[in-house]
Structure 1
Amino acid sequence: MLTLVSAVFVFFIIILFHEFGHFIVAKAAGIKVNEFSIGMGPKLIQRKKGETKYSIRALPVGGYCSMEGEDQQSDDPRGFNNASTKARIAVILAGSIMNLILAIIVLSIVSYSLGVPTTSVSETIADSPAELAGIKSGDVIISINDVNINSWDDIINEIGSSNPEDAMKVKVLRDKETIDITLKPTVSEDNRVMIGIVPLNERSFKSAIVGGFKETIEMMQIMFNFIQMIFKGGVSARDLSGPVGIIYTIGEAAKYGFINLLYLMGFISVNLGVFNLLPVPALDGSRIIFILIEIIRGKPIDPEKEGYVHFVGFILLILLMITVTYFDINRFNIFGR
């Protein structure tokens, strides 16, 4: 039950943000929106304000934004198909942009909850090189091996790239006094160079927002690298996860608390935002490609031909999803649990 509730919550928020992005930009561009729905399936509540119907539906699995002339040609001058190319591109991009904004929001909440590690030392591990060399709680790391330190990531990078056989020079600030300390790092069982310090975590609105932005960018880089590996043939269907695998992972994350669930939500939202902009038929990215071709040609491609391309792409995506789901079921032993 926890897995089901958690998966519904995560997908509901992610898809709702995505569709709200399309909705708000379509409204701003003057495109007629016929309906904006929270949830799917049978209607529970519906109200009409102006030209748009706002509804809440029975199944809490996201929502949708229905625009005039989106899937079929419309004679309405305010239809999506009659909007300027810039407006259409903006509306399409808005969904993925909102996914990234959602990621920044939830990852900022995670950063605030956990705190952002600083260059100040909270404590030293007993009998570690840092404790034996005299580093104390409250010390601020200024430099390592003459390299200036500005963040906890700098500390990790400098320690990780150092030679454990060589002495390490650490400069700290203690009670407004600069102290030079020399120590010899140790190597952990998983082959990481360590000196044995624990950072002081800072909780502030500013640091949380910075942490949310930074984590989102890093997740985007991971996604871009993964996509690059796919095109290079370094990834097979066995390495991908479909709905079954994602739901399983959400359930596992939920077992470890709400913050872990939020972190995974941010990760999935980034993945959806980036993946949806790939130039693959049926995805938003391919719709943008068709609009760019329209700009170059000076006239739109035959809607029937474009629809056929998207239909073929949709079928291929469904086949991929079925294949990935099969591997997910075997990987996680779903029916054997």
Structure 2
Amino acid sequence: MFTLISAAIVLGLLVIVHELGHFTVAKAVGIKVQEFSVGMGPKIFQKRKGETDYSLRGVPIGGYVKMEGEDESSEDERSFSNKPILSRIAVLIAGSFMNFLLAIIILTGIFYTIGVVTTDIAGVSDDAPAYEAGIEAGDKIIAIDGETARTPSAVQNYINLSEEDQIQVTVERGEETLEKTVGVRVDEELNRRIIGVEFDVEQSLGAAVAGSFRETRTIVVEIFNFFTRIFTGEADVSQEVAGPVGIVSLVGDATRAGFINVALLTAFISINLGIMNLLPIPALDGSRILFLLLEAVRGKPIDPEKEGMVHLVGFGLLIFIMLMVTYQDILRLF
């Protein structure tokens, strides 16, 4: 039960933030918003304020902002279809923007709490290759074999992937830049290649904000690398893609591991949601943006009925894919 409550809070937060982005910008550019809904299916609760119905629906998956003239023809001057193209694109992008913003805020809070590991060296083991090469506490690693190293994870990944017995480490020491040839050894306990340094941890708001942007960038790169592996056939979609059931399971695991893990997972899912919604897939925001760009090129809008049919078919395909992924989620539970 606690897992379900945690999952409902996480997914609810992501949906509300995403739809709030659409809602806020729509209101800002003067579009008439008919409904702000959290969830899909039958209404559980509804309250009208001004011209907008605020509703909570029975199926806790997704949500939407219903705007005048978004999916149908409308003569109302405040309809979505009668606003400038840039205003409409801004409304569509706003949902994903809010997901990215939420992730950055969450990650900033995490890094401010636990600190940000830097490439400044806090200590060197006496029997380590780094010590033998003359690297000292207080040095800052700036490159490995000529490749810029901005984060400790980048340093460790390069060391792990390197097949050489020695690597060239560039460090800053005060105002000097030094090149050190460092041996690499395998730590059997950690099951990874090391040079024997311990990195410093910085705990400040500035470091936390910078760390959150770096982590967001890393997650975005990982997601697009996954898409690349899908097209090359290297990805195991049955194991690496999660639907609603899989997400609930992941939230449950994170909940048992502690609040920080739940927050990290929330940020990761939020970034995923932001990217997925910007892809040119029918029924998603990215597809609607594509239609608006086509409208800008043609100088006239696409027939609303034809566009609506494309989105309807796309929505059906998305539901089918979600059911298939959910089936895989259930199989993984047993």
| Fold shared per TM-score above 0.5 | yes
Distance 1:244 1:125, change over 3 A: farther
Distance 1:288 1:232, change over 3 A: farther
Q: Which 10-residue stretch deviates more, 139-148 or 14-23?
A: 139-148
Q: Residue type matched to 1:184 in 2?
A: G
Q: Residue type matched to 1:71 in 2?
A: D
1:323 alignment counterpart? 324
Q: Residue type matched to 2:31 in 1?
A: I
Distance 1:305 1:234, change over 3 A: farther
Output the TM-score relative to the length of structure 1. 0.83
Q: Which 10-residue stretch deviates more, 265-274 or 186-195?
A: 186-195
2:320 matches 1:314: no
SS state at 2:278 partner: coil
2:66 matches 1:66: yes
Distance 1:143 1:94, change over 3 A: closer
Q: Which runs of 5+ in 1 are unaligned?
A: none
1:279 alignment counterpart? 280
Distance in 1, matches of 2:272 and 2:301, equals 30
2:140 matches 1:141: yes
Q: Which 10-residue stretch deviates more, 190-199 or 214-223?
A: 190-199
Q: Residue type matched to 1:15 in 2?
A: V
Task: Kindly indicate whether the alpha-carbon contact (under 8 Å) linking 1:142 and 1:149 is maintained by their aligned counterparts in 2.
Answer: no
Partner deviation per Cα, 1:62-103 (whole Å, 9 max, x = no partner): 754332222333221101122122111111111111111111
Written as runs of structure 1 = structure 2, the 5 A alignment for 1:125-274 is: 125=125, 127-130=127-130, 138-141=137-140, 151-153=150-152, 155-156=155-156, 159-160=159-160, 165-166=165-166, 173=173, 184-189=183-188, 192-235=192-235, 237-239=237-239, 240-274=241-275
Distance in 2, matches of 1:233 and 1:180, equals 40
Pairwise CA distance, 1:144: 6.8
Task: Kindly indicate whether the alpha-carbon contact (under 8 Å) linking 2:254 and 2:262 is maintained by their aligned counterparts in 1.
Answer: yes
Partner deviation per Cα, 1:228-282 (whole Å, 9 max, x = no partner): 3334454465242211111111111121111111111111111111111111111
SS state at 1:211 partner: helix
1:105 alignment counterpart? 105
SS state at 1:266 partner: helix
1:7 alignment counterpart? 7
Distance in 1, matches of 2:247 and 2:330, equals 11
Task: Kindly indicate whether the alpha-carbon contact (under 8 Å) linking 1:12 and 1:63 is maintained by their aligned counterparts in 2.
Answer: no
SS state at 2:279 partner: coil
**RMSD, matched Cα:** 3.3
Distance in 2, matches of 1:301 and 1:167, equals 58
Distance 1:86 1:182, change over 3 A: closer
Task: Kindly indicate whether the alpha-carbon contact (under 8 Å) linking 1:168 and 1:185 is maintained by their aligned counterparts in 2.
Answer: no
Distance 1:238 1:178, change over 3 A: closer
Output the TM-score relative to the length of structure 2. 0.84
1:22 alignment counterpart? 22
Q: Residue type matched to 1:258 in 2?
A: F
1:43 alignment counterpart? 45
Distance in 1, matches of 2:39 and 2:323, equals 24
Distance 1:127 1:63, change over 3 A: same
Distance 1:212 1:290, change over 3 A: same
